[in-house]
Amino acid sequence: MTQKPIIVQLKVGKGLSVQVAEGRWRKVYYGMIVDVQSADLQEVEEANNMAEAVIDKLISKHTGAAKPSSPTPIPLHDIPDLDIAEIQDAGWLTYQKNPCGPGQAGWVKNPVEFTSWKDPPQVLLRLVKAIHKTPDKRLVLGDMEYYLNKKFINRSPVKRESAR
């Protein structure tokens, strides 16, 4: 029996006081309200961690250094089982609708959006789930970056900065 999703409203806030001169302080406070619809406590915790990370980034602008949240260990069951070779073989097309070669930018239907797709590659379902778990909804695997674009999964080569 599956649990019925509930809506949880998280109120997350953090403040910081920074001494700008002798006897002078600058105080900043950021808060946000996040509505999460889920039956899974783990998803609620992930939403809370992401909200804290956003607030930490905003606060870091006032200190010059990021104050990261306490790192949350990723449970082993949450690490996606993704095989880069299996992803490569999932029917990627170039933007001209030709089959993609290794390292080429392209797209494939998102099986979550195209519900009429009878037997989508399971690796694409796992890829979409993994993308959703990233804070910026972009996932780098090997030399490719994967992200969602409307009803499609897109990929593009990773831009690497050269060492100087």
Give the residue extent of every domain in the chain.
Answer: 6-63, 80-157
- Classify strands 138-141 and 6-21 as parallel, antiparallel or unpaired: unpaired
Is residue 107 scored above 90 in pLDDT?
yes
* High-pLDDT (> 90) share of the chain, %: 10
Is residue 140 scored above 90 in pLDDT?
no
pLDDT at 98 (0 to 100): 92
Number of Cβ within 10 Å of residue 100's Cβ equals 18
Phi first, then psi: what are they for 50, rounded to 5°?
A: -65, -40
* 107: DSSP letter: E
Confidence of residue 108 (pLDDT cuts 50, 70, 90): very high
Number of Cβ within 10 Å of residue 156's Cβ equals 15
Q: Please give the average per-residue pLDDT across 37-62, as a whole number.
A: 78
* 43: DSSP letter: H
| Structure tokens, 138 | 């972009």
d(C-alpha 96, C-alpha 98), whole Å = 6
